[in-house]
Amino acid sequence: MSDTSTGTTLKIAVILGSTRPGRNGKAVADWIVDRAGARTHAEYELVDLADWPLPFMDEPVPPSMGQYQGALTKAWAARIAEFDGFVFVTPEYNHSVPAVLKNAIDTVYAEWNNKAAAFVSYGTVGGIRAAEHLRSIASAVQLAHVHQQLAFSLFTDFENLSLFKPGAHHDAPATKLFEELEAWSTAMKALRA
């Protein structure tokens, strides 16, 4: 699994941005990881925020200064630093992203810089407003975001609003999302070097 231009492996995190009990996002994130398993230029790995109980803004200095003090913040920074790109999987809560996802992004700074991001959303209108908010947030932490995104409707892609059953029409856009993300991740990796 090497990048053809550099000979190095790209590491992409699929960040599951909801921790709500009974969340629909786990099935969506698993679908993304499963589809990405056939990719040959990158390795995709699930990073579930339910496994990262990050406190809300408890660091004494702004994350942009890189002076993390808390053990969990330091561990989160090291985890994010491992990756070349990210697929954010988010529901839409009140026309935006869950607080836990915003907090996970806000907790660190330099570890996001000059990397690439893609967005996968779900909700009553496909979660598109959450994805649009994520684009703005990503720009603020210097994440280059790709154009292609996926939006899953609770009414057409979930049976009884809970069992994830996406239509085959999502396969081609998912492939395009992976292609764009891998190309941008490669370019950003070269920039960081």
Query: Mind listing the pLDDT tens digit for each residue in 93-111?
Result: 999 999 999 999 999 999 9
Query: Mind listing the pLDDT tens digit for each residue in 32-50?
Result: 999 999 999 999 999 999 9
Across residues 148-167, what is the average pLDDT?
A: 95
Q: In terms of residue numbers, what domain contains 102?
A: 10-192
Number of domains in the chain: 1
What's 176's domain CATH number? 3.40.50.360
Residue 4 counted as domain residue: no
Which residues, 6 or more positions from 107, have their beta carbon under 8 angstroms from its beta carbon? 54, 57, 59, 63, 73, 76, 77
Query: Mind listing the pLDDT tens digit for each residue in 55-67?
Result: 998 999 999 999 9
Statement: residue 6 has pLDDT above 50: no
Residue 2 counted as domain residue: no
